[in-house]
Amino acid sequence: MVIEVGMKGKVSALVEKEDTALEVGSGSLLVYATPCMAALMEGAACEAIASGLSETETTVGTELNLQHLSATPVGLEVWAEAEVTAVDANQITFQIQAFDEAGPIGTATHKRFLVQTDRFLDKTYAKL
């Protein structure tokens, strides 16, 4: 692992009907769902550190403190920009901002934990 403070990542998506609060079950309106924005933000964090991981490593999300600031209608592009703000052993902290074509829509702090992929999956599936 070579993860450093300042690494950045960005991901984007077009808001479709299936990304709305009504469709994902998090509300009753046809507006971009908070759970979808959370996934977009985590995706940006993953993108920020992808180049620093070996083939046997991945990260898992452990904390997300999110504010959804503005609603986005179907049809607009949304994107999230993440930056690594701290690395403490295997814990990585990010600051993330989300936007649509009209401006900011969300902000978050996020933590991910570095794991060995096979060992993590073996432990998880041992629950079965």
- Domain boundaries 8-125, CATH class: alpha beta
Residue 1: what pLDDT?
A: 76
Q: Which residues of the chain have pLDDT under 70?
A: none
Long-range contacts of 100-104 (CB under 8 A, 24+ apart): 100/15, 100/32, 100/70, 100/72, 100/76, 101/76, 101/77, 102/70, 102/72, 102/76, 103/70, 104/69, 104/70
